[in-house]
Chain A
Amino acid sequence: MSHETYLFSRMAREDVHTLKGYEAQGGYQAFKKILSEGTSPTDVTGIVKDSGLRGRGGAGFPTGLKWSFMPDPTKDSRTRYMAVNADESEPGTCKDRILMERDPHGLLEGCMIAAWAMGLAGIYIYVRGEYRLSYARLDEAIQEARAAGLIGENIMGSDFSCEVQMHKGAGAYICGEETGLMESLEGKRGHPRPKPPFPAGFGLWGQPTTVNNVESIFNVPFILERGSDWFKTMGTEKSPGNFLCGVSGHVEKPGVYEIALGTPASTILNEYAGGVWRGRELRAWIPGGSSTGFLRPEVIDTPMDHDSVKAVGSMFGTGAMIILDQTASVVHSALVLMNFYEHESCGQCSQCREGTEWLAQVFQRIHDGQGRMEDIDLLTDIANGMAPGKTICALADAAAIPTHSVIRNFRDELVEYVQEGGHAAVSKKRSLPLEVV
């Protein structure tokens, strides 16, 4: 259980969200060093690339590689931007919030290093609207950093300038999709853009843009300070480093834990989160946020890293584990998720607009005891019609993957719902005698 932690290392100190508290723990040293030594942007990108840091927003794309997609400034003189995706709204995910609330300067330092590496003129931090404290803390941090000459014009007396601005989301899940986020930042409806063109060539206001997750950026100063070799000592070969694992659902100690990539999910569940709630049995678990689907208890020993989770037919996603105990219903949980995706689909693509609604309707019928055996195949066909890669963005995939997972891993439960007359009958059978707490 004991392993090196760094993401949470500063948080023991209460005032780390202030510049004073942050600098007292060695904050902004990595950025200042780069600036004073004049490390070339290519070298900075190279270090991040070499560290093997993979994006923490869900897709697990190598961060350094993403940075290197930005066009060469000697050939393309357009203004460049970065958008930090802090619109954390994947159900089950609550990790970026901790970083922004407790250690906002850590994120800002990462932003400034990224700005140097990519020659950015501006950084937009798109904060989920409900994250009021995150917004307030980041706002204060930006003001402090600007006053200290760490953000804005001629940073630390150099020629280098970069602005940081914040934007508050208005509660749409789809604005967490990188191109939906850019549309939203531009003041339009958060309708994802078809790709190509990709953001690195045509992003915010048509300029080269990189979109990174908060946690990805937060890792950067540590890598620059301690080196990519140090980073690679943690985690697995293909997924180095630590990640923030938000554990929720039927566990004794729900919360956000800093965990080395590759740690088995059972270890996270039992040793960090205190096991399944009240010692009950595990019925199902979701490895990385709602769109990664339901897995069976038999695979709870799967190491939590991108490739291992993929091998069991799911995705690492945002690393947000949701645990369902023996009394819970996968069909009911799937219905809740489908209602979420139906509500959050932007409605551009035919398959997603109609498909998310249809999935929710079929799950609702099965849940209500009006399911038919052929509905199980229908669910498969609907999900196959929506994904993979059949729509502009991955929201349709996000609804199709859990659907497939229910059919693949919990077909018995679907059959039980159809045969026994829906949720009322099934949940009655599963309910445990009342306990006095």
Chain B
Amino acid sequence: MIDSEKQPEIKRVEITVNGKTVQARTDKPLIHACLQAESEVPHYCYHPGLTPVGSCRICQVEVQQGKMPARVMVACRTPVAAGMVVDTESKGAHDSRKECLEFLLKNHPLDCPICDKAGECTLQDYSFAEGQGEGRSVEPRRKLEKRKDLGDVIMLDQERCILCSRCVRFMEEVPETPQLCVAGRGSHSIIETWNNQPLSGNYQGNLADVCPVGALTLKSFRFKARVWNLTKTASSCGECSRGCSTTVEVLRAGEIVRIRPRHDEEVNKWWMCDTGRFALDHFAEVDRLVGACMPSATRGWDQSPVEDGLQVAADMLMAAEKPLIVASPWLTVEEGTELLTLGRQLNGRVAFVSPAQNELADDLLHTGDPAPNRRGLTDLGFEALSPEEILSAASEHSSILCIGERVASLLGEDGFNSLPSATRVLLFDCALPAPQEGGNSPIDLAIGLATSAERAGHWVNIDGIRRPILQARPAPTGVWNTVRLLQNLLGLLATREIQS
């Protein structure tokens, strides 16, 4: 997925866009240079990641070339030429766009108040910026299917569709699984799947992103939220070692309602897979491990504040000869660094859980390796051990510290149960392991951690590209992030060493 943006063979010519001099790439249409010059050019059918077709005709700009008089033309199908003078704000360009919008809105249902796209719909934006206040058509609007089910992921509203064909081209060009088409002709054109079959594949969610209007919406997001109520934070996806750049969108109450790809030329371009997009369960509030927990003498868990739990943890770790420290591959580089310090302090063996390759790998983005920071931890010097290797190694150690998001589920409940009862097990994770009858739990101490949506740091992806994760929402009260937890623990250990 590494793009050629920085590679030398790209030819550039100098053009002028709204008075600004731009070095325009000759392999890209004029609109690319205009957008590069930060001149807003309305566009629907044009998407930087897809072949331009020049069919929506909205991206009209005024171009003056050589001695020829200035002409209004579509920027997405005009090749750049040295010396072009482009005016995106000329009257002719605005008039042409206004005309075009009147046509696009002629049959549009104008159901923005109930449309999920409202607020991030470019038909809305450009109509507001360029269009006229009132439509002049008195003809009845086209009646088409408003709820056409396209499978598990996508719902199609044919009335809202402006037939830009981005979805058709996306399916053909990106995952290379052509499934959508424009059926019918002229004003009878509609978007359809072959024989009304449901869509398939792991990249369907992108259709809702490429759709410039509210025609293709995510079923999981329909009627969930108004987009202007969402707080958006840049982050990275943790579902495989690609680490696609994402935007995490949080509703006012703190619920993560949507994860969308964020343009990243080197990692994922504009796309992400559905596995990553819909991995919202990991951020759900149920089963969160809050504060510190120790198995109760009667049943369930005894809860205490994190500070108390850390005292216990320090006791246990100090008592151990050579603890086994097991990191989750979701640990960030920063957390890994702290953990290595802890390992040195305790003279322990430090490793991370290296999960097995899954069957989700494809040629596009998904690597099939569920460990998002494998590269980062390996580079830091962590040993990679499979869950089985960790469990067999654990029997050689008097205590084991498992730390990081999803580390418990990677090792498995049976894995913990198989450990010798003499082994002290410390688990720092986001989710609470299944409750056990009093005294029976193999876990001696559990402390809650912030998820990757609640803390900041960096992961290094499969290609060695370092990308940030940022805090999209605050962690629940009584939950610390890993770095704070480790630094406090290190502090405690240091104090005790001095005291002894």
Q: Is A392 an interface residue (CB 8 A)?
A: yes
Query: In the assembled complex, how far is the CB of residue B161 from the closest CB belonging to chain A, in whole angstroms?
Result: 11
Task: Given A348-B53, A349-B55, A391-B57, verify A354-B103 contact (CB < 8 Å).
Answer: yes
Q: Is A196 an interface residue (CB 8 A)?
A: yes
Whole-angstrom CA separation of A349 from B104 in the bound complex: 10
Q: Which residues of B contact A350 (CB under 8 A)?
A: 55-58, 100, 103-104, 162-163
Are B186 and A390 neighbours in the complex by a CB distance under 8 Å? no
Q: Which residues of B contact A353 (CB under 8 A)?
A: 103, 163, 186-187, 189
Task: Given A356-B187, A392-B55, verify A347-B139 contact (CB < 8 Å).
Answer: no
Q: Is A59 an interface residue (CB 8 A)?
A: no
Q: Is A358 an interface residue (CB 8 A)?
A: yes
Q: Is A346 an interface residue (CB 8 A)?
A: yes
Q: Is B389 an interface residue (CB 8 A)?
A: no
Q: Is B182 an interface residue (CB 8 A)?
A: yes
Are B57 and A194 neighbours in the complex by a CB distance under 8 Å? no
Whole-angstrom CA separation of A436 from B292 in the bound complex: 107
Whole-angstrom CA separation of A384 from B55 in the bound complex: 18
Are B103 and A347 neighbours in the complex by a CB distance under 8 Å? no
Which A residue sits closest to B104, measured CB to CB? A350
Are B139 and A384 neighbours in the complex by a CB distance under 8 Å? no
Which B residue sits closest to A352, measured CB to CB? B186
A194, A345, A391: the one contacting B187 at CB < 8 Å is A345
Whole-angstrom CA separation of A245 from B137 in the bound complex: 39
Which of A194, A343, A353 has the most B CB atoms < 10 Å from its CB? A353
Are A351 and B100 neighbours in the complex by a CB distance under 8 Å? yes
* Contacts of B95-118 to chain A: CB distance below 8 A: 96, 99-100, 102-104, 106-107
Query: In the assembled complex, how far is the CB of residue A192 from the closest CB belonging to chain B, in whole angstroms?
Result: 10
Q: Which residues of B contact A345 (CB under 8 A)?
A: 185-187
Are B77 and A194 neighbours in the complex by a CB distance under 8 Å? yes
Q: Which residues of B contact A381 (CB under 8 A)?
A: 99, 136
* Contacts of A323-380 to chain B: CB distance below 8 A: 342-358, 361-362, 365, 378
Task: Given A350-B55, A385-B102, verify A358-B186 contact (CB < 8 Å).
Answer: no
Query: In the assembled complex, how far is the CB of residue A95 from the closest CB belonging to chain B, in whole angstroms?
Result: 26
Are A390 and B53 neighbours in the complex by a CB distance under 8 Å? no
Are B54 and A392 neighbours in the complex by a CB distance under 8 Å? yes
Interface of chain A, helix or strand or loop or mixed?
Answer: helix
Query: In the assembled complex, how far is the CB of residue B235 from the closest CB belonging to chain A, in whole angstroms?
Result: 36
* Contacts of A378-422 to chain B: CB distance below 8 A: 378, 381, 384-385, 390-392
Task: Given A194-B53, A350-B58, verify A342-B103 contact (CB < 8 Å).
Answer: no
Q: Which residues of B contact A392 (CB under 8 A)?
A: 54-55
Q: Which residues of A contact B151 (CB under 8 A)?
A: none
* Contacts of B163-211 to chain A: CB distance below 8 A: 163, 165, 182, 184-189
Which of B55, B56, B102 has the most A CB atoms < 10 Å from its CB? B55
Q: Is B48 an interface residue (CB 8 A)?
A: no
Q: Is B79 an interface residue (CB 8 A)?
A: yes
Whole-angstrom CA separation of A381 from B136 in the bound complex: 10
Which A residue sits closest to B58, measured CB to CB? A350
Are A347 and B184 neighbours in the complex by a CB distance under 8 Å? yes
* Contacts of A264-281 to chain B: CB distance below 8 A: none
Query: In the assembled complex, how far is the CB of residue B42 from the closest CB belonging to chain A, in whole angstroms?
Result: 12
Whole-angstrom CA separation of A365 from B184 in the bound complex: 25
Are A357 and B186 neighbours in the complex by a CB distance under 8 Å? yes
Whole-angstrom CA separation of A354 from B107 in the bound complex: 8
Query: In the assembled complex, how far is the CB of residue B211 from the closest CB belonging to chain A, in whole angstroms?
Result: 16
A194, A356, A358: the one contacting B54 at CB < 8 Å is A194
Task: Given A345-B186, A347-B188, verify A354-B57 contact (CB < 8 Å).
Answer: no
Query: In the assembled complex, how far is the CB of residue B26 from the closest CB belonging to chain A, in whole angstroms?
Result: 13
Could you mark each residue 43-71 of chain B with 1 if its beta carbon is under 8 Å from any beta carbon of chain A, else 0?
00000000001111110000000000000
Q: Which residues of B contact A196 (CB under 8 A)?
A: 79
Whole-angstrom CA separation of A275 from B182 in the bound complex: 47
Q: Which residues of B contact A391 (CB under 8 A)?
A: 57
Are A390 and B57 neighbours in the complex by a CB distance under 8 Å? yes
Are A347 and B182 neighbours in the complex by a CB distance under 8 Å? yes
Q: Which residues of B contact A390 (CB under 8 A)?
A: 57, 96, 99-100
Whole-angstrom CA separation of A308 from B19 in the bound complex: 43
Query: In the assembled complex, how far is the CB of residue B92 from the closest CB belonging to chain A, in whole angstroms?
Result: 11
Whole-angstrom CA separation of A391 from B74 in the bound complex: 9
Are A385 and B100 neighbours in the complex by a CB distance under 8 Å? yes
Which A residue sits closest to B101, measured CB to CB? A350
Are A348 and B55 neighbours in the complex by a CB distance under 8 Å? yes
Are A355 and B96 neighbours in the complex by a CB distance under 8 Å? no
Q: Which residues of A contact B163 (CB under 8 A)?
A: 347-348, 350, 353
Are A346 and B185 neighbours in the complex by a CB distance under 8 Å? yes
Q: Which residues of A contact B136 (CB under 8 A)?
A: 378, 381
Query: In the assembled complex, how far is the CB of residue A239 from the closest CB belonging to chain B, in whole angstroms?
Result: 27
- Write the residues of chain B forming the contact surface with A, with a CB cutoff of 8 angstroms: 53-58, 74, 77, 79, 96, 99-100, 102-104, 106-107, 136-137, 139, 162-163, 165, 182, 184-189
What are 21 A-B contacts with C-beta separation under 8 Å?
A: A172-B185, A194-B77, A196-B79, A342-B186, A344-B185, A347-B184, A347-B188, A348-B55, A348-B163, A350-B56, A350-B104, A350-B162, A351-B57, A351-B100, A353-B103, A354-B103, A355-B103, A356-B187, A385-B99, A385-B103, A390-B57
Given A348-B53, A354-B104, 13 other A-B contacts at CB below 8 A? A194-B77, A342-B187, A349-B57, A350-B55, A350-B100, A350-B104, A351-B103, A354-B107, A355-B103, A357-B187, A358-B103, A378-B136, A385-B100
What 8 A-B pairs are tightest by C-beta distance, nearest first? A345-B186, A385-B99, A347-B189, A357-B187, A354-B103, A348-B55, A194-B54, A361-B139
